[in-house]
């Protein structure tokens, strides 16, 4: 009898344990708490970024950038030391010119005339001492000697009758070679054309709706797409109508430093057209779908809410949005792709959880 009672007690305990597991340890699905999503958030604070317009074009020779190098005196082209498209430094030898027969004869004639004038002046001075010439005669002799010396100096300055090197007047790029070795050239004949690299400009095209924001004097940063060089500049000219070939508004930028490259190199320009004021947020915080740009803000109950945002502009990994959001509600920066409107979240910020 005692053993039967023990068996009954054991059975009751087992049944009670099963009932506890069923009714107390596993709540029904209807009372399950939905899982929350861990997201990073920031507090909205006012800020600003420069408003930039990106445009593409190329480097061109500006007004008066190209200079023609002419021979001041005739001669024979002994050698041309450069090629079209070659970069040269100031003072670099471009060509060697030797005397042609005519210029050599002219130079010898001038030197002979100067020698005769000196002899004549000395003779006149001696006659004056002997009272066989007047002061006027000496003055005329001195004037003739000065004129002859001036003629020799002028020929020497132009290089007439001598071998001479033609040097680059400034750093630049050879745009054309107009003479060949062995050519006989007269005084004033064109030898080369050179573009001054300090007078180059960047010509870029901007869409008409964006070009309206550009003003003369706006600063720009310019990147050369072939060489990788970077420099700064400013807007110096803005076209009044669209380019008939591209449909863009041409913007001319001065360059604040000479280029190592020459004309026609492609360029990208970022023109600063003003300031964007709003909330500065990470670019990844903004999502886009067929309804437009949106983000998520979190209320005091840790519930995420979808909000439409007006993007004012982007720069790098930052975006400026209009100040039409509630600044008291944190903005989700990462994890927004997991969210739907009304989802519960757990918030984290730099340094720990956000309550």
Helix (H) or strand (E) holding 238: strand 230-238
With respect to residue 19, please indicate whether it lies within any of the assigned structural domains. Answer: no
**Which of 23-37, 73-87, 145-159, 321-335 is least confident?**
23-37
With respect to residue 141, please indicate whether it lies within any of the assigned structural domains. Answer: yes
Of 343 and 187, which is predicted with more confidence?
343
3-class DSSP assignment, residue 82: coil
Same domain, 262 and 213: yes
With respect to residue 180, please indicate whether it lies within any of the assigned structural domains. Answer: no
CATH at residue 213: 2.40.30.170
Query: Model confidence over 38-56: pLDDT tens digits?
Result: 899 999 999 999 998 999 9
Query: Model confidence over 265-318: pLDDT tens digits?
Result: 899 999 999 899 999 999 989 999 999 999 999 999 999 999 999 999 888 889
Query: Model confidence over 223-251: pLDDT tens digits?
Result: 999 888 899 999 999 999 999 999 999 99
Same domain, 260 and 228: yes
Res 3: pLDDT:
55
Number of domains in the chain: 3
Which domain-ending residue is among 136, 162, 188?
Answer: 162
Do residues 82 and 166 make contact, with C-beta atoms less than 8 angstroms apart? no
Percent of the chain residues past pLDDT 90, beyond the cut: 45
Do residues 147 and 117 make contact, with C-beta atoms less than 8 angstroms apart? yes
Res 17: pLDDT:
55
Which domain-ending residue is among 162, 178, 206?
Answer: 162
Q: State yes or no: pLDDT of 197 exceeds 90.
A: no
Helix (H) or strand (E) holding 206: strand 200-206
Res 1: pLDDT:
52
CATH at residue 334: 2.40.420.20
* Residue 302 φ/ψ region, left for φ over 0, alpha for ψ in the -120 to 50 degree band, beta for the rest: left
What angle is formed at CA 121 by the lines to CA 117 and CA 122, rounded to 5 degrees?
120
Query: Model confidence over 74-119: pLDDT tens digits?
Result: 888 999 999 998 889 999 999 998 887 777 777 778 788 888 889 8
Of 38 and 9, which is predicted with more confidence?
38
CATH at residue 114: 1.10.287
3-class DSSP assignment, residue 227: coil
Res 351: pLDDT:
39
Same domain, 268 and 282: no
With respect to residue 136, please indicate whether it lies within any of the assigned structural domains. Answer: yes
Q: State yes or no: pLDDT of 12 exceeds 60.
A: no
Whole-number Cα distances in Å, 43 to 86, 202, 224, 280, 329: 57, 42, 39, 10, 7
Same domain, 245 and 262: yes
Record the pTM: 0.56
With respect to residue 186, please indicate whether it lies within any of the assigned structural domains. Answer: no
With respect to residue 77, please indicate whether it lies within any of the assigned structural domains. Answer: no
With respect to residue 94, please indicate whether it lies within any of the assigned structural domains. Answer: no
Query: How many residues in total does the chain contain?
Result: 355
pLDDT band of 158, cuts 50, 70, 90: low
Same domain, 262 and 211: yes
Which domain-ending residue is among 244, 276, 308?
Answer: 276
Same domain, 322 and 289: yes
Query: Model confidence over 25-34: pLDDT tens digits?
Result: 545 444 455 5
Q: Which range of residues forms the domain containing residue 133?
A: 100-162
Tokens of 131: 């009272």
With respect to residue 124, please indicate whether it lies within any of the assigned structural domains. Answer: yes
Res 22: pLDDT:
47
Same domain, 297 and 346: yes
Same domain, 135 and 107: yes
């Amino acid at each position: 009898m005692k053993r039967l009672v023990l068996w009954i007690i054991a059975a009751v305990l087992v049944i009670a344990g099963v009932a506890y597991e069923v009714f107390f340890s596993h709540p029904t699905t209807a009372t399950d708490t939905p899982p929350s999503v861990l997201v990073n958030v920031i507090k909205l604070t006012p800020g600003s970024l420069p408003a930039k317009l990106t445009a593409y074009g190329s480097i061109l020779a500006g007004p008066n950038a190209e200079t023609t190098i002419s021979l001041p005196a005739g001669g024979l082209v002994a050698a041309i030391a450069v090629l079209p498209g070659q970069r040269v430094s100031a003072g670099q030898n471009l060509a060697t010119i030797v005397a042609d027969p005519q210029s050599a004869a002219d130079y010898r004639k001038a030197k002979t005339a100067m020698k005769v004038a000196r002899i004549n002046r000395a003779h006149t001075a001696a006659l004056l001492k002997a009272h066989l010439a007047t002061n006027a005669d000496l003055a005329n002799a001195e004037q003739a000697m000065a004129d002859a010396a001036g003629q020799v100096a002028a020929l020497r300055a132009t290089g007439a009758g001598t071998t001479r090197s033609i040097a680059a007047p400034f750093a630049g790029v050879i745009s054309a070679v107009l003479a060949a070795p062995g050519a006989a050239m007269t005084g004033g004949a064109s030898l080369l054309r050179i573009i001054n690299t300090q007078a180059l400009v960047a010509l870029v095209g901007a869409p008409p709706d964006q070009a309206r924001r550009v003003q003369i004097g706006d600063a720009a940063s310019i990147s050369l797409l072939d060489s990788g060089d970077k420099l700064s500049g400013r807007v110096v000219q803005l076209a009044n109508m669209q380019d008939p070939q591209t449909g863009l508004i041409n913007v001319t930028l001065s360059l604040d430093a000479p280029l190592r490259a020459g004309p026609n190199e492609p360029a990208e320009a970022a023109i600063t057209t003003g300031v964007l004021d709003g909330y500065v947020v990470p670019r990844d915080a903004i999502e886009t779908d067929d309804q437009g740009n949106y983000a998520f803000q979190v209320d005091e109950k840790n519930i995420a809410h979808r909000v439409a945002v007006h993007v004012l502009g982007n720069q790098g990994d930052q975006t400026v949005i209009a100040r039409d959001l509630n600044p008291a509600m944190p903005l989700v920066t990462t994890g927004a792709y997991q969210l739907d409107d009304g989802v519960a979240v757990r918030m984290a910020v730099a340094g720990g959880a956000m309550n």
